[in-house]
Amino acid sequence: MTPPPLASALADLSPVGLAELIDRAALQSRVDRKYVVALDELPHLLDRVAPYARVLDIDGARAFRYESVYFDTPCLASYHSAAYRRRRRFKVRTRTYLDSAECWLEVKISGARGRITKHRLPYRPEDRRTLRPGCGFVDEALVRESIRPAGGPLAPVLVTGYRRTTLLLSATASRITIDTDLRWQDGDRRLGLPTVAVVETKTSSAASPVDRMLWQRGTRPVRISKYATGLAALRPDLPDVPWRRTLRRHFHDATASVASTPTTTLRTEQETSCV
């Protein structure tokens, strides 16, 4: 459920439809900046950005439920490439829009100067925890980017869930996403961050008005990855240097638990042909 103060602030923004948002700011190759913002600070930020921004509105809804399943090798090649700041890094995930039952298979490549390239394939929601139907797509995308991860086939490792609101800044054709109700699950281990939001600016290069507003308030970009930071929080034995400050500052009071009922451990089934 969207917190009432945030829902009220979103209601004051002008709407934009999905087709126009995609047309104006697809930004498959982009620069991302991420911020962790206290939930109670968001209404003020939205009030300030209102003259520049429109909010994605689909049939009256302005916040949407997402689920992502992240895939990695048995030795966590994707995770370690991020932990050790490799120049070329990759993530493989399925992303499901739970309200519309739409699903995509995505391969994200991080390159020089923080630039992100994303390859996407429409996917069946019922297949979101397996790569079998999409192995050829994943292999082709990684080869095209000259990435060949070692350590075995890709298998599901982590599930994340959150609610996302998306803003369009028309003047700069940039997008802003605001993720709340953040949750992670690694087998029977679960973690939640109910009091903060992850605000991400997605631009072609230059900083957006939202970046500058946050900087003026003393809020700086942080290193946070829903996959890597969440997995590091759930598995303290993993190397966590890039996200250690974020973990100590924002995850120290996270609500963590072990599932009280048996859950399927995602790592028990290895994929057969990817990578």
Please name every residue paired with 185 in a beta bridge, in sequence order, or none if there are none: 159, 190
Question: Helix, strand, or coil here: 2?
Answer: coil
Q: Where are the domains of the chain?
A: 4-268
Backbone angles phi, psi at 54, to 5 degrees: -125, 150
What 8-state DSSP symbol labels residue 255? E
Cβ neighbours around 273 below 10 Å, total: 12
Separation in Å, CA 52 to CA 118, 139, 199: 26, 40, 16
Cβ neighbours around 213 below 10 Å, total: 15
- Per-residue pLDDT, averaged over 235-247, amounts to 94
Q: What is the pLDDT of residues 111-123, one digit of tens each?
A: 766 677 889 999 9
Residue 188 is which amino acid? D
Give the per-residue pLDDT at 85: 86
Q: What is the pLDDT of residues 174-221, one digit of tens each?
A: 899 999 999 999 999 999 999 999 999 988 778 888 999 999 999 999
Confidence grade of residue 268 (pLDDT, cut at 50, 70, 90): very low
Q: What is the pLDDT of residues 16-64, one digit of tens each?
A: 998 888 887 765 556 889 999 999 999 999 999 999 899 999 999 999 9
Question: Helix, strand, or coil here: 92?
Answer: strand
Give the per-residue pLDDT at 112: 64
Q: What is the pLDDT of residues 125-135, one digit of tens each?
A: 999 999 999 99
The set of residues, in sequence order, having a beta carbon less than 8 Å from that of 216 and lying 6+ positions away, is none
Question: Helix, strand, or coil here: 178?
Answer: strand
The percent helix, strand, coil of the chain (3-state, each to 5) is: 30, 35, 35
Task: State which H helix or E strand residue 22 sits in.
Answer: helix 18-25
Q: Between 255 and 22, whose confidence is greater?
A: 22
Return the CATH class of domain 4-268.
mainly beta
Tokens (6 digits) for 39: 């939930």
Separation in Å, CA 54 to CA 11, 46, 89: 11, 10, 32
